[in-house]
Amino acid sequence: MINDTSRIHIAFLGPKGSYSHIAAKKYANYHFNKITEYSCQNFSDILHVVENNQVDYGILPIENSNSGLINEVCDLLLTTHLILIGDITIPIQHRILVNNYNSSLKQIQTIYSHPQPIQQCSNFLKKFPHWKIILCESSSIAIKKVAYLNQPNIAALGSTQGGIIYGLHPLLLSPYIISNYPLNSTRFIILKNENLLFTNTTAILEKIMLIISIDTKLNKLYSILKILQFYKIKINFLRLCCSLLPNNTTNSIILEITAHFHHTYTQQALIKIYNIAYSLKILGCYSTIAYQPYQQYT
């Protein structure tokens, strides 16, 4: 347990300069005075340090506008007792980062990054089939490695901020060209080790994330969708997590809805879902922050 109570400790993926670090700083600027950043090697380590009260909050990417839901994070949500207290969406602008600012695309033979940026830039990367792709635990560890190796034929795919921290230079290419879709953004969720679902009673908590366990054989998923439709509750995303065990008779659903927990319709819908499910867990009720600083490129 960290003793300095005047500071908020927040855990994120990678050394400084990762997209998760950028999101953590933006979230913290909005909510807290002083923060201490706590860097983790992988997503499960983030949950671990929050669960053990080594830090106050953990931040994890949940979905990207290009590549969709981040499966590894969804799977981790099924196993944690942490609650979700907020989310933040930030623009993601990938850059090709090199050691020497005179370098060109032609020189590159190997590119390092996290699987997410690689997936989000897959169309651009297809133009260079001879490039060797090296997957790393975060984009910032990739940047750090490329800076350490200091060779003209290697590059990292990551953020401008990460490049600045480790002394890499972005090639003069618009991030619009590098990402599969120009408006690339990622939504991050903020997790806390707490029992209370409603820590911030003054905020308008407009989103609810649920984990529902249902029978695999019966048409329970359809029934859940019908209930939500009946109460006109908007589904933000739904992920069906099928068990790989042959005799397992339950599936888990991660469902995010736009709804106010105390609204009568929400309460009625949740009771109906609870009645047809094996179990219903409310992972969190929270409000959202979205940053849209795309203007700088328009």
Ligand X SMILES: O=C(O)C(=O)Cc1ccccc1
Binding site for ligand X (CB under 6 A): 13-14, 18-20, 61, 64, 92, 114, 116-117, 138-140, 186
**Which is closer to ligand X, CB of 141 or CB of 208?**
141
- Write the single-letter amino acid at 13: L
For 10, residues 6+ apart whose C-beta sits below 8 A from its C-beta are 24, 27, 28, 35, 36, 37, 38, 55, 56, 57, 58, 59
**Which is closer to ligand X, CB of 86 or CB of 117?**
117
Neighbouring CB atoms inside 10 A of 285's CB total 23
**Which is closer to ligand X, CB of 80 or CB of 186?**
186
**Which is closer to ligand X, CB of 91 or CB of 284?**
91
Identify the three-state secondary structure at position 154.
strand
Helix axes 220-230, 264-276, angle to 10 degrees: 170
- Write the single-letter amino acid at 296: Q
Contact 177, 265 (CB under 8 A): no
Helix (H) or strand (E) holding 276: helix 264-276
Cα dist from 24 to 31, 59, 89, 120, whole Å: 11, 6, 11, 21
Identify the three-state secondary structure at position 188.
strand
**Which is closer to ligand X, CB of 80 or CB of 138?**
138
**Which is closer to ligand X, CB of 13 or CB of 55?**
13
- Rounded to a whole number of angstroms, the minimum distance from the CB of residue 127 to ligand X is 20
- Rounded to a whole number of angstroms, the minimum distance from the CB of residue 55 to ligand X is 16
